[in-house]
Structure 1
Amino acid sequence: MNSVEKNIPQGVWKLALAGSAAIWGGSFVVIKGALDVVPACWLMFIRFLGASVIVGALFNKTLRRNLDGSHLLAGSILGLLSGTAFLIQNIGLTTITPGRNAFLTATYCVMVPFINWVVAKRRPGGTNLVAAALTILGVGLLSLGDDLSFSLSSGELLTLAAAVLYALHIVAVSHFSAAHDVMTLTVVQLAVSAVVNLVASLALGEVLDVAVLLDPSMWGALFYLVVLSSCVCMVVQNLGQAHVPPAQAALLLSLESVFAVVASVVFYGEVVTPRLALGFASIFVAVVVSEVGGSLAERLRGGGKDA
């Protein structure tokens, strides 16, 4: 931690994390609009390619110092998970609203302890079970039709599948980060994510109208996704979580899904019925219980000190 970071009040870092959550929340609406004119795979390819170039240039010295076979392998695994998750999440977003997509995606936070149980043999705690029950309730409420019949659309199923991949990605990051440089892994991950989406676009036969990319409105969307959502927020998250207690950081970042619904209502015209609102609230509370409860348990096991 350098002297400049030490002089920044913790409240500023908290605002920065909340700002990142707001930007990520708004990205659901931005992506939804962009998907009307750019195929999902091509959009994610452009996003990750741009982000990998920018982040790679910013951390060029770190990259040259640490890049080796081990970092390439670990970063490639992360990129396969992350790239595929974003791919199917955004294919799902083409058929459902941004708010619904955001809250179903947020269920990955609840899945992580159970996947970690399988991988690291670390049993979930009571708060994780409560969070899982609330998540099931929330997904159930979101899946009820107007006639109260239960069904999940293809878009919702794809989004939940993406949430599983995001959870696997989080567990993999935890596993690999202990013995690798995080920023080097990040650059490799972004580059591989771009390749995953390029291969998928070619395999699916998606056609990109290059003329669309020349539209100034598309420049704004790409700037938002590449620079703000992928580059700025990633750096802010990494720095912010180093200065804010884990439980508070988790709570601030979990606001992403709330900001997504607000943006969807304001800019996309999504109508939130009482049933949907209850479903959103149930999933949000589940995320908070899972994240904050898990962080507090870690602190108690570690003697009450913040990481």
Structure 2
Amino acid sequence: MKKWLAIGGLILVTVIWGGGFVASDMALGSMKPFQIMMVRFLLASVLMGMISMGQHKKEGKLENRAGAIKAGILMGIALFAGFALQIIGLQYTTPSKNAFLTALNVVIVPFIAFIILKKKVGMKGIIGAIMSVIGVALLSLNGNLTLSLGDGLTLLCAVGFAFQIFFTGEFVKKYPASVLNMVQMITAFVLSAVSLVIFGENDLQVTTQGWLSVLYLGVISTTVCYLLQTACQKYVDETKAAIVLSMESVFGTIFSIIILHEVITLRMVIGCAIILAAVIISNLSETEGEAKDEEIQCSNF
């Protein structure tokens, strides 16, 4: 029952994140990328800090505080990298493309697990990777076979999010989710503030739509969603979670069409469909292997 509730929670996360692509696009109308990120993660840091303090009183003293902080910092660096590249890329591409290219983080997760934990990548994982390349080509390549700046940055952001999903799946088994999330958000906020100063984005002239958009991003799309994601990944492994989380690309496209009236071409639909299929297929090998292992274990009793 807990596993299915966790999957339901992750699906809710994808719906909210889908709306986040539209909110980010609307916020970019009056705010610069690192301004959005700084306000977003400031809100999330304050809220996560309040939640963490409440949890700390209930749970008592944290045994390995240094380990939890290091883990949260790693998660925060990966989160910052993913969001920074995603929102900068969104300035040069459409929300639907941004959403589907971001979803490729799911294909990358098993390869990160292979490099770091030596987890075997099955044939379906390799097929999924090949399919994702074909999907990206259909969705993003220009006539001269070049990739636009926006799409290229979004592909790189997928690597950042893949590491964030991987780290979350590993660290949430060892440390309290509230502490991990608080440190993760504070890390992302600090990196966003530093980047804002470095890139000279100090002039803040925000419209009402911009404030409402960044409020949604900070409170709902970040605080609520990452609390849900971290809690749910206690009961769902990182690759299965990645499959579910990939649905944010579908909701992102749906919201882009409904709210932003984005025009979708047949080539884009085919490319998106191939990427979504690749995302699912790339993780089927592990879920099938787990099912066989469970059957063997059950037969031994």
Normalised by the size of structure 2, how large is the TM-score? 0.87
- Aligned counterpart, 2:11: 18
Residue of structure 2 in register with 1:224 after alignment: 216
User: What is the letter of the counterpart of residue 138 of structure 1?
Assistant: G
- CA contact 2:106–2:242 (8 Å) conserved in 1: no
Q: Is the 8 A contact 1:84 1:196 kept in 2?
A: no
Q: Which structure 2 residues correspond to residues 206-217 of structure 1 after superposition, within 5 A? A: 206-209=201-204, 211-212=205-206, 215-217=207-209
**Equivalence for 2:186:** 191
Q: 1:52–1:167: structure 2 CA closer, same or farther, 3 Å change rule?
A: same
Q: Is the alpha carbon distance of 1:248 and 1:48 closer, same or farther for their aligned partners in structure 2, counting shifts above 3 Å?
A: same
- What is the CA–CA distance in structure 2 between the aligned matches of 1:144 and 1:68, rounded to whole Å? 46
**CA distance 1:158–1:175, shift in 2 (3 Å):** same
Give the match's secondary structure for 1:95: coil
Kindly indicate whether the alpha-carbon contact (under 8 Å) linking 1:246 and 1:295 is maintained by their aligned counterparts in 2.
Answer: no
The answer to whether 1:264 aligns with 2:264 is: no
Note the C-alpha offset of 1:245: 9.2
Query: Partners in 2 of 1:56 and 1:267 — Cα distance?
Result: 33
Check conservation: 1:247, 1:296, Cα contact below 8 A: no
2:31 corresponds to = 38
Does the CA contact (< 8 Å) of 1:38 and 1:208 recur in 2?
A: no
| 2:80 matched residue in structure 1 | 83
Q: Give 1:151's aligned residue.
A: 146
Greater Cα shift, 198-207 or 180-189: 180-189
**How many angstroms does 1:242 deviate by?**
5.5
Matched-pair contact (CA < 8 Å) for 1:25–1:263: yes
Deviation at 1:105, TM superposition (A): 0.7
Q: Distance in 2 between matches of 1:245 and 1:115?
A: 14
Deviation, structure 1 residue 173: 3.0
Report if the CA contact (8 A) 2:165-2:242 is conserved: no
What amino acid does structure 2 have at the position aligned with 1:117? F
Identity of aligned residues (%): 33
* 1:56–1:63 CA contact under 8 A, matched in 2: no
Structure 2 counterpart SS, 1:59: helix
Change (3 A) 1:102 1:278: same
Distance 1:106 1:252 in 2: 10
Between the aligned partners of 1:174 and 1:137, the Cα distance in structure 2 is 28
| Unaligned ranges ≥5, structure 2 | none
TM-score when normalising by structure 1:
0.85
1:106-153 residue CA offsets vs partner (Å, 9 max, x unmatched) = 1011011112211122220112111101101101101233xx331111
Aligned to 1:94: 91
Any idea what the Cα deviations from partners look like across 1:184-223, whole Å, max 9, x if unmatched?
11110110000011111111111231x52xx443342123
Instruction: Measure the CA separation in 2 of the matches of 1:197 and 1:68.
Output: 24
Superposed displacement of residue 256, structure 1:
0.8
Deviation at 1:229, TM superposition (A): 0.8
Aligned residues: 293
What letter matches 1:204 in structure 2? F
Give the Cα–Cα distance (whole angstroms) in 2 for the partners of residues 249 and 201 of structure 1.
32
Query: In the alignment, what sits opposite 2:268?
Result: 276
* Aligned pairs (5 A) from 1:175-186: 175-186=170-181
Contact 2:124–2:284 under 8 Å retained in 1: no
Match of 1:289 among 267, 278, 281: 281
In structure 1, how many angstroms separate the alpha carbons of the residues matched to 2:75 and 2:239? 25
Q: Is the counterpart of residue 162 in structure 1 residue 157 in structure 2?
A: yes
Computed over aligned residues only, the root mean square deviation of the Cα atoms, in angstroms, reads 2.6
Q: Which whole-Å CA distance do the structure 2 matches of 1:196 and 1:247 have between them?
A: 28
Which deviates the most, 149-158 or 190-199? 149-158
Report the equivalent of 1:300.
292
2:22 aligned partner: 29
Alpha-carbon separation, structure 1, partners of 2:54 and 2:277:
41
